[in-house]
C-alpha cells in the first residue's frame, strides 16, 4: 500500500520509509523497506539510476591507405525534394576523411545497394564496410552484394551511435551547411554536391590536411583562386619523373596523416576516459537493457526491458545476454552502456502455498473468559525471540545438513540444494520445488523425488514442505 498502490505512487526509498515510519514500526524497518523498493520491477524498468555508468572508449585502428575502410550510414529524413528525395546515403573514408553522399528516394535495402554500387564505382571496392545494424544494412540483398564483391561487413552495437563517430560528425557538418540554403527555398538535392565539395576541400582537424589533398596530392581549385601563369619549363619532360615526384609527395602527406590521426585519437581517448565509471559485470549477473521508446506516448513507456542474465562477455564493451524465462539468447551482443544492474526480489511462496488453516484455527481458539481477563489485566509480554521448531518452517533448508550430493542432473552429477520450497503431485508423481545453491530463488526448479539423493529423501520425508494443490 505504501509503495505499489496508486496512493503510494511507487515513491523512492526515502519517501516510502517516511510514509511507513509515520504509522508503523518494526525491527529493521529501513533495511526491509529499502530492499523492497530497490527490487521493485516496475520502478527499475522506468526510472533511471542515480549512479551513471559509462565505459571507456577505444579508438578505431587507422587504416594504412585511403579507400580501405568506409563508414556508411543514412542521414535524414529531410523535407521532400523536388525530385522526391528524402534521405542521404553518406560514406566517410576512415583514412582521408573524404565524404561521399548520394540522395535517396527511399531508405530501403535496394536504394542502399544502388548507393554502394556508385561508391565502389567511384573509388573502387573497399576491404571493410562499417555500419550500424539498420535493416537496410543487414538485409539479405546488402549481404549478397558485399559477398559478391568480397567486402567484409562489420556492425556496431545497437543504439551505440558513438561507435560511428566519424560518420555522425559528418552528418552534423552536412546539416549545418545545408540549412541556410534550404531556408531560402532552394532544393537541397541540387546543392548537395557543392556542400560535399566544401567539406572535402576544408582542412580536417584530425589529419591536418583536407581530404582532397590526401587523395590527390594538392588542394582543389576554387572559383576565387588566384590564377597563376603556367611555365612550360616547369613541366617534367619525362612522365616517369612526374609520377615519381607525385608518389613521393603522396607518401609524405599520408605518412603525416597517419601520425596526426593516431595522436588525435590518443588525446581523445585520454580526455574521455578521465570521466568514465564503467559498470562491472560478471557472468550470471542480472541486468536491465535500455530501450528507446518510439511512437505516441513514449514518455509514459518503460525505458528498460528485462531482466536478463549475462551469458558471456566477449569484450569489455560487448555483453551477450539471455532471457532467464525461456533461455532465449539475444542474437547480437549489446553495448555495456545500455545495461544497468537489476535487483531481483526473492519470491514469496507463502502467497501460493497451501497452509493447514483449519487445524490452526481450531487449535488457537481461546476461551471467552480468558480473553476477557486478558483485556482487563495487562500482561507483560516477553521480549525473547521465540523460534518454532524446524519441522514447522515453510521451507526445508538442506545446505547445512547435507553434503554436496543432493540432486542429480542430466549428466549424472549432483548439485547441492539450498532449500526445498514446496511439493506437489503431478501425473501421480511426487515432485519438489528446490533451490540450487548459488542460484536465486526465482530460478527454483521442479524435480522428481527419484532425482533426490538418499539423504535428501530422508530429510524431506521427516520434514515435508508445504503441499501445492
pLDDT of residue 364: 42
Do domains 285-293+301-349 and 417-462 share one topology? The answer is no
Question: What's the mean pLDDT in 108-132?
Answer: 92
The pLDDT of residue 71: 93
CATH 3.40.309.10 at 69-223+235-257, yes or no:
no
Span 417-424, mean pLDDT? 83
What is the rounded distance in angstroms from the CA atom of residue 453 to the CA atom of residue 409?
11
169 against 187, higher pLDDT: 169
pLDDT at 358 over 70: no
- CATH classification (class only), 285-293+301-349: mainly beta
Q: Which three cell numbers stand for residue 297?
A: 506516448
Q: Which three cell numbers stand for residue 180?
A: 541556410
pLDDT of residue 195: 92
Answer yes or no: is pLDDT of 390 > 70: no
SS3 label, residue 367: coil
pTM: 0.63
Give the up-direction half-sphere exposure of residue 165: CA atoms within 13 A in the CB hemisphere.
10
Q: Return the axis-axis angle of helices 13-23 and 29-38, rounded to nearest 10°.
A: 140
Own/partner contacts of 148-153, CB < 8 Å, gap of 24 or more, are: 149/120, 149/125, 150/125, 151/125, 151/126, 151/127, 152/127, 152/128, 153/128, 153/129
What's the whole-number mean pLDDT along residues 295-313?
81
Query: Could you give the percent of the chain with pLDDT greater than 70?
Result: 81
- Tell me the pLDDT of the chain averaged across its residues: 79
Of 293 and 321, which is predicted with more confidence? 321
C-alpha–C-alpha distance, residues 463 and 398, integer Å:
11
Question: Grid cell 529493521 — which residue?
Answer: 28
Q: C-alpha 172: how far from its chain's center? A: 25
What are the extents of the domains in the chain? 6-39, 69-223+235-257, 285-293+301-349, 417-462
Task: State yes or no: pLDDT of 343 exceeds 70.
Answer: yes
407 falls in which pLDDT band (50, 70, 90)? Answer: low
pLDDT, residue 103, reads: 92
More confident of the two residues 285 and 411: 285
CATH topology for 417-462 is OB fold (Dihydrolipoamide Acetyltransferase, E2P) (2.40.50)
- pLDDT for 3 beyond 50: yes
The answer to whether residue 194 scores a pLDDT higher than 50 is yes
Q: Give the pLDDT confidence score for residue 397 in this predicted structure.
A: 58
Q: Is the pLDDT of residue 21 over 90?
A: no
Identify the pLDDT of residue 113.
Answer: 93
Q: 225 pLDDT band (50/70/90 cuts)?
A: low
Give the whole-angstrom CA distance, residue 217 versus residue 66. Answer: 12
Which residue, among 55, 35, 31, 54, has the nearest Cα to 43 in the 3D structure?
Answer: 35
**pLDDT score of 234:** 67
276 or 171, higher pLDDT: 171
User: SS3 string of 192-257?
Assistant: HHHHHHHHHHCCCCCCCCCHHHHHHCCCCCCCCCCCCCCCHHHCCCCHHHHHHHHHHHHHHHHHHH
Q: How far apart are CA 327 and CA 437, in angstroms?
A: 20
The predicted structure's pLDDT at residue 114? 93
Task: Quick: pLDDT tens for 232-291.
Answer: 666 667 778 878 888 888 889 889 998 998 898 888 888 888 877 888 888 888 888 888
388-408: average pLDDT: 52
- Give yes or no for residue 127 having a pLDDT over 80: yes
Q: Examine the pLDDT at 337 and tell me if it is beyond 60.
A: yes
The model's pLDDT over 76-118, given as tens digits with 9 standing for 90+, comes to: 888 888 888 889 999 999 999 999 999 999 888 999 999 999 9
**Where is average pLDDT lowest: 260-274, 347-361, 387-401, 422-436?**
347-361
pLDDT for the residue 318:
85
Q: Residue 425's pLDDT is what?
A: 85
Sorted by sequence, the CB contacts under 8 Å of residue 254 that are 6+ apart come out as 65, 66, 95, 214
Amino acid at each position: 500500500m505504501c509503495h505499489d498502490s496508486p496512493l503510494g505512487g511507487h515513491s523512492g526509498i526515502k519517501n516510502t520509509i517516511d510514509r511507513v515510519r509515520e504509522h508503523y514500526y518494526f525491527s529493521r524497518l529501513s533495511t526491509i523497506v529499502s530492499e523492497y523498493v530497490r527490487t521493485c520491477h516496475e520502478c527499475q524498468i522506468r526510472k533511471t539510476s542515480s549512479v551513471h555508468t559509462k565505459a571507456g572508449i577505444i579508438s578505431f585502428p587507422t587504416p594504412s591507405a585511403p579507400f580501405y575502410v568506409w563508414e556508411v550510414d543514412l542521414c535524414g529524413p529531410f523535407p521532400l525534394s523536388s525530385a522526391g528525395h528524402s534521405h542521404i546515403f553518406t560514406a566517410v573514408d576512415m583514412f582521408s576523411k573524404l565524404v561521399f553522399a548520394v540522395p535517396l528516394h527511399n531508405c530501403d535495402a535496394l536504394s542502399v545497394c544502388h548507393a554502394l554500387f556508385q561508391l565502389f564505382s567511384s573509388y573502387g571496392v573497399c576491404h571493410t564496410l562499417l555500419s550500424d545494424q539498420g535493416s537496410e544494412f543487414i538485409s539479405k540483398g546488402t549481404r549478397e552484394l558485399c559477398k559478391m564483391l568480397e567486402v567484409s561487413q562489420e556492425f556496431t552495437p545497437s543504439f551505440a551511435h558513438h561507435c560511428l563517430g566519424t560518420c555522425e560528425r559528418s552528418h552534423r557538418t552536412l546539416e549545418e551547411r545545408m540549412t541556410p540554403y534550404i531556408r531560402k527555398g532552394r532544393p537541397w538535392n541540387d546543392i548537395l554536391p557543392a556542400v560535399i565539395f566544401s567539406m572535402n576541400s576544408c582542412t580536417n582537424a584530425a589529419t591536418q590536411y583536407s581530404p582532397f589533398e590526401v587523395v590527390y596530392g594538392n588542394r582543389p581549385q576554387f572559383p576565387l583562386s588566384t590564377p597563376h601563369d603556367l611555365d612550360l619549363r616547369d613541366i617534367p619532360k619525362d612522365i616517369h619523373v612526374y609520377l615519381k615526384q607525385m608518389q613521393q609527395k603522396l607518401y609524405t602527406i599520408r605518412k603525416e596523416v597517419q601520425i596526426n590521426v593516431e595522436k588525435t585519437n590518443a588525446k581523445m581517448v585520454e580526455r574521455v576516459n578521465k570521466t568514465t565509471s564503467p559498470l562491472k559485470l560478471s557472468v550470471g549477473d542480472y541486468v536491465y537493457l535500455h530501450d528507446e521508446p518510439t511512437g505516441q506516448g513514449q514518455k509514459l513507456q518503460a525505458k528498460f526491458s528485462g531482466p536478463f542474465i549475462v551469458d558471456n562477455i566477449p569484450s569489455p564493451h560487448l555483453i551477450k545476454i539471455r532471457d532467464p524465462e525461456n533461455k532465449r539468447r539475444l542474437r547480437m551482443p549489446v553495448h555495456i552502456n545500455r545495461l544497468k544492474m537489476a535487483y531481483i526480489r526473492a519470491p514469496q511462496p507463502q502467497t501460493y502455498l497451501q497452509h493447514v488453516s483449519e487445524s490452526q484455527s481450531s487449535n488457537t481458539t481461546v476461551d471467552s473468559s480468558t480473553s476477557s481477563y486478558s483485556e482487563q489485566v495487562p500482561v507483560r509480554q516477553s521480549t525473547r525471540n521465540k523460534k518454532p521448531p524446524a519441522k514447522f518452517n515453510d521451507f526445508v533448508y538442506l545446505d547445512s545438513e547435507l553434503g554436496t550430493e543432493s540432486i542429480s542432473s542430466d549428466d549424472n552429477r549432483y548439485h547441492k540444494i539450498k532449500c526445498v520450497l514446496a511439493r506437489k503431485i503431478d501425473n501421480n508423481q511426487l515432485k519438489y520445488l528446490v533451490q540450487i545453491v548459488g542460484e536465486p530463488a526465482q530460478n527454483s526448479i521442479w524435480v522428481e523425488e527419484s532425482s533426490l539423493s538418499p539423504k535428501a529423501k530422508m530429510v524431506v520425508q521427516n520434514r515435508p514442505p508445504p503441499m501445492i494443490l
